[in-house]
């Protein structure tokens, strides 16, 4: 990505000072609101009853229960990312290729739910999915089922809800790339002898890779740390890292343990973002 | 169905295409010899790009047949046609460098690496870009991208190369330079090519034959000279080169031709028309002299401009504006002066007024 940027112009000393001053407010906000609390979090995670301690990490990374919690969060993020990609990739093309009114309508449908709080959306799913919910009563009314099917508080409900909430974050970056593409690229590949499958693998996929990577990084880091969606749609049956953190702070009063869980969660998200941008560069994606 | 002529490299016969209620192509026939350069010329919406896409396989015709190098390709998918296309937007692959773009088709054909490298080098040296092989596409200028698109199309040695307004994105100077260079290059490699353009100068420069298209039909298919001297329709006349034309009604007709009464006066045409029919009488500006002759009219000079090798005199003849072309060094009439002017009968063109609106 960086290689595509034109080299920054050489600045004179006064210009450099102006640039520094202009960046100061943003830097201060980041420092006070973000870096400092993170530093505090990191510090707290290494405290025990007698000062410095690795006890929190030891408990988190060796107890089978907490390892399964980490795996739960990872699994939720992986499945959500895969599902939103499978739905979002073709959808991005549909939106980018749509004309005028249709395109606005589709983008509207995508943006509008972002205005609603994730709590509202998660509750909406509980209304749809519960045993006396709309889906069950409709199915029973139609005589397709005789008894309500258990849908709420299942992993299926969790995945469906999570994919629904995070889908826009997959579509928007991919759409941004696809909208810039020359629609003739596929035709150019065909004229050179590429059948549709080859054209997709050799041209469309690599050319849209920057958008895919951005979408994957966004959805993965959002869903790995999701709190509201798993809490409302599956609850205690599927403990996640985010729920563990909340519990450590709010219920069990173990700030060191909560901080350590936070650090692990953050590390996973950062690792995925770094890995995916690496992968993007090696796969030759364009800026 | 007429049988396609034997010995033709590319043969398009009976091709028609409709999009909903609009007829985009109507009974198109076009045969091309190997090595021939043909331009489809016409205004936007005349069907020229659709015809090109039919040859490419990117659009399927409703009726008709397309044969290339003795093979019926009417239903063949684009990737099995061996047809090259240079797109208006170039459609270069942004994730590949110059060599990657040019070698794309060769790689798909599974050629050994060494063969690909030498073919890429050959194609790039034809367009003078051999030193740009490892540049990313975004580092190239528009003209260079145009050359890469051309190199990419010729590298796979297609049976026919199609140019879809391929030069229109270049600025005028570069475009003119590319026109003669491209023609030279295509002749050199013996390529058969079809150009699509709305630029008549480009059509005349680039091609052996020009197909003037209007409303989904080929109005005239002829070499540039014939097209200019003997336009088949009023549309072909107005679309290629400058012309002056007057509408009128036939008042008499005999074996030698007809007399047409126009708003500016009677004019003789060397063609027989029915009495009373409406006719367009025309000539080219360079045939007009400021003396009496076969077809003489009177008018008022509304403007005269010196343009170096030639001068243009604009004359108002009974409400119709006509432009005459004079040699650059002649004495020009004054504005407002009343002049007589004429052109010879042999250079008088005439078209039935009902041919085109």
Parent domain of A112: 53-282
Cβ pair A211, A173 in contact under 8 A: yes
CATH number at residue A203: 1.10.3720.10
* Domain count for chain A: 1
In this predicted structure, the answer to whether residue B215 has a pLDDT above a threshold of 90 is yes
Q: Describe the strand order of the beta sheet including B338-343 as a list of residue ranges.
A: B320-327, B310-317, B295-306, B338-343
Is B91 close to A209, i.e. CB distance below 8 A?
Answer: no
B82 neighbourhood in chain A, CB within 8 Å: 193
Residue A282, pLDDT score: 65
Confidence of residue A4 (pLDDT cuts 50, 70, 90): very low
What mean pLDDT comes out for the span A60-87? 96
Asked if the model's pLDDT at residue A286 lies above 60, the reply is no
**Over the stretch A126-181, which tens digit does the pLDDT of each residue have?**
889 888 888 888 999 898 888 888 888 899 999 999 999 999 999 999 999 999 99
In this predicted structure, what is the pLDDT of residue A5? 46
Query: What is the predicted pLDDT for the residue at A1?
Result: 38
Task: Please tell me if residue B104 touches chain A, with a CB cutoff of 8 Å.
Answer: yes
Residue A6 at interface with chain B, using a CB cutoff of 8 Å = no
Is residue A248 exposed (0-12), middle (13-18) or buried (19+ Cβ within 10 Å)?
A: buried
Q: Which residues on B lie below 8 Å from A198 (Cβ)?
A: 108
Asked if the model's pLDDT at residue A287 lies above 70, the reply is no
pLDDT tens-digit series, residues B180-190: 889 999 999 99
Across the interface, whether the CB atoms of A193 and B95 are under 8 A apart is answered: no
**Residue A190 covered by a domain:** yes
Its CATH class, for the domain covering B242-352, is mainly beta
For residue B315, the surrounding DSSP H or E stretch is: strand B310-317
Please state the ipTM of this predicted complex.
0.84
The domain limits of chain B are 10-238, 242-352
In a domain, A40, yes or no: no
DSSP three-state, residue B275: coil
B101-118 pLDDT, tens digit per residue, is 999 999 999 999 999 999
Average pLDDT over residues A237-248: 94
Q: What is the mean pLDDT of residues B71-96?
A: 95
| Residues in chain A within 8 Å Cβ distance of B91 | 182, 184-185, 187-188
What is the CATH code of the structural domain delimited by B10-238? 3.40.50.300
Predicted pLDDT of residue B356: 47
Of B177, B180, B183, B214, the C-alpha closest to B198 is B214
Q: What percent of chain B has pLDDT over 70?
A: 97
| Buried b / exposed e along B306-336 (16+ C-beta atoms within 10 A) | eeeeebbbbbebeebebebbbeeeeebbeee
Backbone angles phi, psi at B28, to 5 degrees: -85, 130
A42 inside domain: no
pLDDT at B168: 85
Average pLDDT for B256-264 = 92
- DSSP for B163-210? EESTTTTS-HHHHHHHHHHHHHHHHHHT--EEEEES-HHHHHHH-SEE
Check pLDDT > 80 for residue B354.
no
């Amino acid at each position: 990505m960086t290689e595509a940027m034109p080299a920054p112009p050489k600045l004179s000393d006064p210009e450099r000072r102006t640039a520094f001053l202009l960046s100061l407010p943003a830097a201060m906000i980041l420092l006070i609101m973000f870096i400092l609390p993170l530093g505090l979090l990191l510090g707290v995670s290494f405290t025990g009853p007698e000062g410095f301690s690795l006890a929190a990490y030891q408990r988190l990374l060796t107890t089978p229960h907490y390892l399964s919690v980490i795996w739960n969060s990872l699994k939720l993020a992986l499945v959500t990312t895969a599902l939103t990609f499978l739905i979002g990739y073709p959808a991005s093309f549909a939106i980018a290729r749509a004309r005028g009114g249709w395109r606005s309508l589709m983008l509207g449908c995508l943006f509008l739910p972002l205005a609603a709080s994730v709590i509202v959306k998660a509750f909406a799913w509980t209304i749809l999915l519960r045993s006396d919910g709309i889906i069950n009563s409709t199915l029973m009314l139609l005589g397709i089922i005789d008894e309500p099917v258990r849908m709420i508080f299942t992993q299926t409900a969790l995945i469906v809800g999570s994919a629904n909430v995070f889908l826009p974050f997959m579509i928007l970056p991919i759409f941004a790339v696809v909208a810039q593409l020359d629609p003739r690229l596929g035709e150019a590949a065909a004229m050179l002898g590429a059948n549709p499958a080859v054209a997709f693998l050799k041209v469309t996929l690599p050319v849209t890779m920057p958008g895919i990577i951005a979408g994957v990084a966004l959805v993965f880091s959002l869903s790995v740390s999701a709190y509201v969606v798993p809490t409302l749609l599956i609850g205690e049956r599927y403990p996640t890292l985010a729920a563990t953190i909340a519990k450590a702070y709010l219920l069990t009063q173990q700030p060191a343990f909560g901080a350590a869980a936070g650090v692990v969660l953050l590390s996973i998200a950062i690792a995925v973002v770094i890995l995916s941008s690496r992968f993007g560069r090696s796969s030759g994606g364009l800026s | 169905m007429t049988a396609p002529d034997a010995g033709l490299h590319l043969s398009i016969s009976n091709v028609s295409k409709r999009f909903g209620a609009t007829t985009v192509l109507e009974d198109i026939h076009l045969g091309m010899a190997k090595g021939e350069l043909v331009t489809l010329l016409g205004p936007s919406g005349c069907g020229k790009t659709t015809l090109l896409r039919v040859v490419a396989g990117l659009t399927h015709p409703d009726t008709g047949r397309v044969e290339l190098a003795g093979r019926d390709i009417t239903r063949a998918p684009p990737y099995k046609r061996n047809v090259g296309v240079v797109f208006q937007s170039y459609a270069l692959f942004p994730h590949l460098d110059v060599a990657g773009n040019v070698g794309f088709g060769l790689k798909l054909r599974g050629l050994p690496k060494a063969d690909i490298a030498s073919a890429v080098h050959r194609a790039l040296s034809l367009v003078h870009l051999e030193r740009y092989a490892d540049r990313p596409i975004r580092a190239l200028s528009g003209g260079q991208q145009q050359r890469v698109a051309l190199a990419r199309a010729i590298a796979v040695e297609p049976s026919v190369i199609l140019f879809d307004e391929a030069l229109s994105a270049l600025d005028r100077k570069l475009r003119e330079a590319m026109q003669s260079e491209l023609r030279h290059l295509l002749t050199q490699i013996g390529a058969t090519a079809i150009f699509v353009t709305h630029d008549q100068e480009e059509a005349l420069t680039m091609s052996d034959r020009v197909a003037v298209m209007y409303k989904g039909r080929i109005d005239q298919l002829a070499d540039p000279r014939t097209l200019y001297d003997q336009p088949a329709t009023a549309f072909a006349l107005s679309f290629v080169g400058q012309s002056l034309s007057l509408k009128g009604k036939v008042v008499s007709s005999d074996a030698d031709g007809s007399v047409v009464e126009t708003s500016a006066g009677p004019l003789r045409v060397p063609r027989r028309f029915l009495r009373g029919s409406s006719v367009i009488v025309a000539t080219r500006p360079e045939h007009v002299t400021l003396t009496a002759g076969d077809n003489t009219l009177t008018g008022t000079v509304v403007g005269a401009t010196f343009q170096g090798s030639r001068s243009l005199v604009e004359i108002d003849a009974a409400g119709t504006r006509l432009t005459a072309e004079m040699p650059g060094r002649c004495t020009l009439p004054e504005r407002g002066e009343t002049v007589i002017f004429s052109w010879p009968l042999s250079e008088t063109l005439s078209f039935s007024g009902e041919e085109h609106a």
